[in-house]
Structure 1
Amino acid sequence: MSDHGKRRSNPVPSSRFGRLWHLGMASGTLAAGIGFKGLTELTRKSNGSRPARIDLPGKHAQRFTNRLARMRGAVMKMGQLMSMDGTDLLSEEASEIMGALRQGAEPMPLGQLSGVLNREYGKGWEQQFKHMDLTPIAAASIGQVHKAETRDGRTLALKIQFPGVRESIDSDINNLAFLFRQFRIMPAGVDLGPLFEEARLQLHRETDYQTEAESLTAYGAMVGDDPNLFVPRLHPDLSTENILAMDFAPGEPVDRMISGDYPREDRDRVATLLSRLGFRELFDFGLVQTDPNFSNYLYDMESGRVSLLDFGAAHRVQPHWVEVYRHLGQAAYSQDREDMRQACIELGYLKEDSDPADVNEMLDLLLLSGEPLRHEGPYDFGASDLFERVYYRGKDLFLDERFRHMPEPATLFLHRKFMGMFLLCRKLRARVDIGRMMMPYLGLDNP
């Protein structure tokens, strides 16, 4: 999440027709940016096995981004995923502009915000607060956040859901699936159905503030009194179906450390704390916060503590999958290719009858990904080109249709979490001792 003090606001389109119109306008912007020649080339390439790359000029990418940011909800969420490092779907300039979707959405205008507060808190709601900042401190795909102080002295963050977002998820996902098919973003033969279905279910979970409140409370209990981490407490008396009230968390969004001039020790500390937390989530908690947006973490340099935000994407992991990932980690560390193959079959990466050449390619890719696990001492992500090697090799295999089937739907958002951890370490140019962290969970001695 990011600061929105000077950002313009537009009403969130809440009706199905209004959202369809905005998505149509976004598609029109995309088509206009590509041009007739580009569309012809896109169609020609789409008839092949590889998806076409869209070279969208900067001004059109900006308009396209603005449309998605104005819609919020599922459309913006998928745009965020499109803009993550390494997608190679858009040109470099367009990808940079689309990256703004990871920083935040347009906030609601005051009139629409007032309507939400009146509906949720009732007439005279202002009497409960000593002060409320009407300018949001952050806005994302599902809602925006306001800082407030209650009459009894509590300093809170109020997460207020955009109107109509919950009701629009199914139609947005259906419309996006149609666009993906029309523009042939994925190789022929890849079934996107499970991906869109899992995205639909995840978005419904993210807009269910009652479920998020339960996840926030459960997660806080699991973190306990860890002095390095801060999980905001829920305030049920000011929480509703569409407003989540919690402690205000201090610190700067971690994504600002990526471009800012922060000491290496702080970057190493943040990456180490969050990597260790990721392993604890999977192996200890069985509850994983699966949204890889770096702005969901705040770092307080004075205390050295990381604050954890946004539990709408918290995902329960069944013990079976925990054991499969443990098995895969053990096999990757010992470089046991047969055990790795069995774990890959469980996760849906491979099938029992997969071509031996494809099996070897997949195992080689996973062994490459496990380089930090087998490295002795802290792994220097800033000095390594591992991400590029893994990404481009994986992309080539995927586009060559070596692996058409999607992984198990229940693990899709865990993959997103792991990729987010990897990207965070890389972006922060951090040194992290992944091997030492993982050894206890794999039942192995420290390297």
Structure 2
Amino acid sequence: MTRPATHIWRLLKWGRTLAKHGALRGIEGDPNTPPQVKRLARIARFGTFQPKVPDYAGAFRAIGPAAIKLGQSLATRPDLVGEEAANNLLTLQDNLPPVPFAQIEASVQATFGQPLSELFSHIEPEPVGAASIAQVHRAVTSDGRDVALKVLRPGIREQFEKDIQTYEWAAAHLEALGGEEARRLRPQLTIANFKRWTNRELDLRREAASASELAENMAGVEGYAIPEIDWDRTNGRVMTIEWIDGVKISENAKLAAKGHNLPELANRLVLTFLKQAISGGYFHADMHQGNLFVKDDGTIVAIDFGIMGRIDRRARQWLAEILYGLTTGNYRRVAEIHFEAQYVPSHHDVGEFATALRAVGEPMRGKPVSELSVGQMLDGLFAITRDFDMQTQPHLLLLQKTMVMVEGIATQLNPEINMWDTSAPYVREWIRDELGPEAAIADRIKEDAGTLFRIPDLVRRIEDRFPAKGGAPEPPPVPEVELMWERKAKKGERSGVVGYLVAGAVGAGASWFAITQGWLG
């Protein structure tokens, strides 16, 4: 078990790095920040040169690979980190200097336990990409096929494990210290989900299986493809996948030169994402520009399947109705769904929540993304979460992140695209096919039988006592973390020393999590 002193030392180092990039400034000025956190922030920045404009992305990049991944996940959470930090974190690119090829070569050979010449006739020494977890080399198999060889960085699993242990320790202390607001944001559960997602990325067999499953789900979709996995050359630390020749979807000039219809590509990208998320409930959740290519025949090809999202059928129905309700202005129905899903506690008023949603949705309806965006809509929705005591929904975080990514790429391809107009016909058709005549019958009964209006309140009261899952998967287990004051009581250390350690540990833990999770506001 890692000692508290080790966690404290790591947190202080990270806090110092954040301070040097000006990333602690918001903590001290936020009235919701606990006094212990403000004190630690002042200590961390003491003697540092503060840039005029905070560089959150630079701070996370300087801290290391696990922080890069965490920073990327926080980039779509303006409710947690604030709009300024979220916008800056969107620039956080997952790239690091490559590992020397000799180490990569030795790692591949060791993991397969046989000479590389029996597997590959050639591997390019220079990587085509080097990210925080793995790097990719172009290669040719021994039977002459062009492939991409993805290899984990040596020691990366161990490094992530150490850092995540400290994240868990800090989150537990913040949740114990931060009161109702910290419980609403659920820092321990947020880190538990982050741990689950990164563990999946650190096992390349899982990534290969994800690619295979998505390819199966999207097999009948024209103009969208997934590269084929070479299972004989894939294991936990190495993945071999079909090489794709194409133009990056971000390179508009090259796409146009090859005769591709950019607005059509934008529409197809949005619709394939909706098909994955709403129809299949399983979607590529890392759809940034570097992971999408366009082949000469116009097919969009996705790569890098380390981050995938999954939503169960019940939550997909709610999601579709929420999207469609926002596109058509049916804010009352959108509000009702939030209460049915128990995203909003039942002591709030449905009508008041519908009015708050209207304030977010009305300014955006009928306008192109060049003027207003889905990302801005999400910002607006996040802004009302505190007023209505909405807890963080970890199973929807990846969906929110991916929606912003898809919107950004679609806008670059076609600045005049209207995400609502593009999405609405597909969502409407899915709702009709999914709910069918039962939905019409239910609506008619609701209209004709006024007494049924009282049933939702009755059900809600029952669910308050026996809560439903709300369409969310069962949350991952939160680790048992011994808090510093519990450790003091158990071991009976002298109060002066322990008091110092408790103050430092709690402050450092709260400071770290407040920094990365939004300064409690």
Query: What residue number does 1:306 align with?
Result: 300
Distance 2:102 2:58 in 1: 25
Structure 1 residue corresponding to 2:225, chosen from 227, 230, 242: 230
Distance 1:164 1:46 in 2: 41
Change in CA separation of 1:412 and 1:34 when aligned onto 2, cut-off 3 Å: closer
Structure 1 residue corresponding to 2:67, chosen from 43, 52, 75: 75
Structure 2 residue corresponding to 1:221, chosen from 216, 232, 248: 216
SS at match of 1:436: helix
Query: What residue number does 1:390 align with?
Result: 377
Which structure has more RCO (C-alpha within 8 Å, separation ≥ 6)?
A: 2
Distance 2:394 2:78 in 1: 22
Q: Provide the aligned C-alpha RMSD in A.
A: 4.1
- Displacement, 1:166? 3.3
Instruction: Give the count of matched residue pairs.
Output: 408
- Displacement, 1:47? 4.3
Contact 1:251–1:299 (Cα < 8 Å) also in 2: yes
Q: Confirm whether residue 196 of structure 1 aligns to residue 214 of structure 2.
A: no
Query: What residue number does 1:410 align with?
Result: 395
Change in CA separation of 1:224 and 1:332 when aligned onto 2, cut-off 3 Å: same
Contact 2:374–2:403 (Cα < 8 Å) also in 1: no
Distance 2:242 2:99 in 1: 22
Pairing of 1:315-326 with structure 2 (within 5 A): 315-326=309-320
Amino acid at match of 1:31: A
- Displacement, 1:243? 0.8
- Displacement, 1:226? 4.1
Q: Confirm whether residue 144 of structure 1 aligns to residue 135 of structure 2.
A: yes
Contact 2:339–2:350 (Cα < 8 Å) also in 1: no
SS at match of 1:307: strand
- Displacement, 1:256? 4.3
Greater mean alpha carbon deviation, residues 315-324 or residues 385-394:
385-394
Q: Runs of 5+ in structure 1 lacking a partner?
A: 1-16
Q: Deviations over 1:205-250 (max 9, x none)?
A: 2223222222211221222264412210111111111111110112
Query: What residue number does 2:156 align with?
Result: 165
Structure 2 residue corresponding to 1:434, chosen from 423, 441, 446: 423
Q: Percent identity?
A: 17
Contact 2:325–2:334 (Cα < 8 Å) also in 1: yes
Structure 2 residue corresponding to 1:29, chosen from 6, 13, 17: 17
With normalisation by structure 2, the TM-score equals: 0.66
Distance 1:355 1:343 in 2: 13
Query: What residue number does 2:119 align with?
Result: 128
- Displacement, 1:370? 7.6
Q: Confirm whether residue 420 of structure 1 aligns to residue 412 of structure 2.
A: no
Pairing of 1:262-277 with structure 2 (within 5 A): 263=256, 266-277=261-272
- Displacement, 1:192? 2.2
Q: Deviations over 1:263-292 (max 9, x none)?
A: 497432332122111111123323212224
Amino acid at match of 1:390: M
Distance 2:86 2:397 in 1: 26
Distance 2:392 2:77 in 1: 21
Larger Rg: 2
SS at match of 2:30: helix
- Displacement, 1:307? 0.8
Change in CA separation of 1:424 and 1:24 when aligned onto 2, cut-off 3 Å: farther
Q: Runs of 5+ in structure 2 lacking a partner?
A: 437-521
Greater mean alpha carbon deviation, residues 206-215 or residues 240-249:
206-215
Amino acid at match of 2:333: D
Change in CA separation of 1:311 and 1:346 when aligned onto 2, cut-off 3 Å: farther
Q: Confirm whether residue 206 of structure 1 aligns to residue 201 of structure 2.
A: yes
SS at match of 1:102: coil
Change in CA separation of 1:358 and 1:75 when aligned onto 2, cut-off 3 Å: farther
Which has more helix, going by share of residues?
Answer: 2
Distance 2:94 2:264 in 1: 23
- Displacement, 1:320? 1.7
Change in CA separation of 1:430 and 1:125 when aligned onto 2, cut-off 3 Å: farther
Change in CA separation of 1:315 and 1:107 when aligned onto 2, cut-off 3 Å: same
Distance 1:279 1:248 in 2: 26
Query: What residue number does 1:175 align with?
Result: 166
Pairing of 1:91-110 with structure 2 (within 5 A): 101-102=92-93, 104-110=95-101
Change in CA separation of 1:166 and 1:320 when aligned onto 2, cut-off 3 Å: farther
Distance 1:163 1:393 in 2: 42
With normalisation by structure 1, the TM-score equals: 0.76
Contact 2:119–2:233 (Cα < 8 Å) also in 1: no
Amino acid at match of 1:81: S
